[in-house]
Amino acid sequence: MAFSGFLHEERAYGLLAAAGLRVPRHGFLEAGTLPFAPGEPIVLKGIADQLWHKSDKGAVHFGAFDLESLKTAAAAMRQRVPEHPWIGGLVCEQVAFKRLAGLPTEALVSLKRDPDAGWLVVFGIGGLQADAWAALSPPMLWPVALTTPEAALAELRAHWLGRTWLGQQRGTAALTDEARLLAFLQGLWRAVAELQREGVTLLELNPVVLDSEGLPTALDGVGTLEDAAVVPIASPDPAWYQALLNPRSLVLAGVSSRAGTVGRIILENVRQSSLPESALRLIKPGATAFLGLPCLDSVAELAAAPTDQLILSLPAPQTLEAVEQLCRQGGGATVVYLVAGGLGDGADTDGLGQRLVACLDEHRRAGKWTPAIVGPNGLGLFSPDLALNTLFIPSVKLPLTARPGHVALVSQSGAFLITRLSRRAELGLRAAVAIGNQMDLRCSDFLRSFAADPAVQVVGAYLEGFAPGDLKATAEAAKALRATGRRVLLYKGGRSQEGMAAASSHTGALAGDHALQAAVLRRAGVLLADRLEAFDAALSWLGAYPVGRPTRIAIMTNAGFESVAAADLLTGPFRGAQLTPKETATLAATLEAQGLTGLVSARLPLDLTPMADQAAYLAAAKLLLASEAEAVVVGLVPLTVRLETQDPEAIQAFAAQWADLARSSGKWLGIAVEGGPLYDRYRQGLRAAGLPVFLTMEEALEGLRLIASEL
């Protein structure tokens, strides 16, 4: 029979049995001797190519074992499915299994090899009403590479089906025990390796029941096979990372004589870096020098005089020609940054992107030299080590100061990147890179390189879509970062149908299945923000405090509404910090010393009222930071006359005192300044001291909540 990609039940049983899982005794009628006694209860199943739902086609028969009558029944089944090439009549034992009146006891288990996420186990309520039950109790999803059977068992315990099987539902007895369930899950994990070797892409088991001894048993199993395995393209030379962030030499193509053009802006920004002018060259056909810099006629000249980084600010056709030339000549640039769009996105009507991918693919598979490519559709990068700014945004619009730190930003959207750089100027950065359409270097490549860079403690990422196969690679890279105590904070755009359409038109990326992506990423320890505001708030916290996961929170404000609203938000992973009787007495004495007795209650959340001045705030904060609180969130409504919010020297001194308190305590401290534009300078003064500063208490706590939810 020609390859059809169908995995039939008998083969599925064999794969499960090889992994040590319980399957019914079975055998094909056509195979001769069968393991059944005359009269034994059996099930006859008609096995035919691409026959997924045998019951619907009359290809299932329950009865007693009698060879001749079963042959007759199988022949009748074959006549009912003429459109499906016949494989054989499969005789299976009737498995006696446990049931509970009114409660689902059958499971549906799918082992699926997702092209983006890798192997997944989907485990939920099965049987004929599986779809209806899924709406009430959604199935669990376990990425095999990121989840252990033990972790899966912990989730199964809490699921409706697990509670039913283990006798945790009201008025029920246990149908099995945790040891049997763990052994079953371990068998599924073992089965994945066998399925991979056999080229299986999907194995669906429905139903899985508990036999008379409580052993999970697959009564049915079908799936899909692939014709041939896809060989992945080799990864680029890791040297690209330093060539991108700390190049010793840089070449730029596409610089115009006209001010305000993309290439010209990039050059002006680059010339403000600490990269010496002698390390800069331009590609400009017919010119030996331009704007005081030496020129090359084309990328062909880079074969003899290569560069670390080449920026191509050229139209899409010329960009493609330049990359193809580099590949043909076997050298010229370690990393190439592609600014232009029109390669593999909605504007590419000539297949230029396909040519680019084919060129890289051909050379990598042949083991030939190939440059690492960032982009296309890339807006540029900022690397504080060299104060290197290759963004095509004028410095008057986006002034960037070199402040090296532990945060790395990577964004598919250039606009997202530059707005964060504009709004969060206080962030200490290792790098900020717009990665564009990820035709070569992908999100996972950047995360792996950040993992190898000890300077990076926090990665903030914005993605609209994953390059094919990169979801799993990104999750594994994030898991490696998390294993060394570092954080990955991510916002995934393109979640709704409208968002997917927008992402596709903008970057040409596939948004994919957000629920699957979210499950995989969270399993890897990624802090996945559901809102941009939560992303920004968490980034502010982590920019100041990369280590820790505070869940005991103390609130201190000077406004009643802030205290009440903030207290309402101390739910979920949080609990409000508590003061000991001794700490309460000390707080009362502190309030008395500040002249606030009778105005302020010595309890948490602490409402200092508008009568509190800077000294009262600092004295109370020192006490709270010495309590069990792991983080103190301070609300400053700046309209009170008791707070100096205009004098720059007073603001700077106040900010330095807050920063000293945080540093000496080793605790997290953040400040919400709830006021209008008049107090922007006040906020900026606090941020300049390295403090996370927010517009509202809700914003501050939303960022903390995201960090506290980390798996």
User: What is the rounded distance in angstroms from the CA atom of residue 437 to the CA atom of residue 341?
Assistant: 9
Question: Residue 93: how many CB atoms within 10 A of its CB?
Answer: 18
Same domain, 605 and 675: yes
Q: Are residues 562 and 635 in the same domain?
A: yes
- In a domain? residue 559: yes
Check: CB of residue 339 under 8 Å from CB of residue 391: no
Which tens digit of pLDDT belongs to each residue from 37-56? 999 999 999 999 999 989 89
- Per residue in 89-107, pLDDT tens? 999 999 999 999 888 899 9
Please state, rounded to an integer, the average pLDDT across all residues of the chain: 92
CA distance 699 to 684: 17
Q: Average pLDDT, stretch 477-487?
A: 96
135 shares its domain with 189: yes
**574 pLDDT above the threshold of 80:** yes
Looking at the structure, tell me whether residues 667 and 563 fall in a common domain.
Answer: yes
Q: Of 157-166, 341-350, 490-499, which gets the smallest average pLDDT? A: 490-499
Report d(CA 102, CA 116) in Å as an integer: 38
Given this model, what pLDDT does residue 298 score? 97
Q: Does the structure show a pLDDT above 80 at 267?
A: yes
Of 191, 225, 259, which closes a domain?
A: 225
Give the CATH number, domain containing residue 31: 3.30.1490
Assess whether 563 and 686 both reside in one domain: yes
Chosen domain end from 93, 128, 143: 93
Bond from prior residue into 605 cis (ω within 30 degrees of 0): yes
Query: Do 146 and 48 reside in the same domain of the chain?
Result: no
Task: Note the pLDDT tens digit of each residue in 197-240.
Answer: 889 999 999 999 999 999 999 999 999 998 544 455 567 889 99
- The pLDDT, as a whole number, for residue 515 is 82
Q: What is the pLDDT of residues 364-403, one digit of tens each?
A: 989 999 999 999 999 999 999 999 999 999 999 999 987 8
Calpha distance 430→377 (Å, rounded)? 22
Model pLDDT for residues 499-541, shown as the tens digit of each residue: 433 333 333 333 347 888 998 999 999 999 999 999 999 999 9
Domain count for the chain: 3
pLDDT reported for residue 710: 85
pTM for the whole thing? 0.85
pLDDT at 570 over 70: yes
Residues 605 and 661 in one domain: yes
Q: Residue 180: how many CA atoms within 13 Å on its side-chain side?
A: 17
Place of tokens 């390669």: 343
What amino acid occupies position 369? W
DSSP label at residue 111: E
Per DSSP, helices labelled H in 484-555 are 497-507, 514-523, 532-544
Edge-to-edge strands, sheet with 458-463: 388-389, 381-383, 429-434, 404-411, 458-463, 487-492, 527-529
Give the residue numbers spanning the domain of 42: 25-93
684 shares a domain with 581: yes
Question: Quick one: 40 and 178 in the same domain?
Answer: no
Q: How confident is the model at residue 419 (pLDDT cuts 50, 70, 90)?
A: very high
Residue 578 CA, chain-centre distance (Å), reads: 35
**700, 578: one domain:** yes
Q: Is 650 within the bounds of a domain?
A: yes
Q: Is the pLDDT assigned to residue 472 strictly greater than 80?
A: yes
The CATH number linked to 162 is: 3.30.470.20
Instruction: Give percent above pLDDT 70 in the chain.
Output: 95
128 found inside a domain: yes
| Residues of the chain above pLDDT 90, percent | 84
Q: Mark out the alpha helices in 159-288 (DSSP H runs).
A: 160-165, 178-198, 240-245, 262-270
Least confident of 71-85, 122-136, 165-179, 534-548: 122-136
Phi, psi of 654 (to 5 degrees): -65, -45
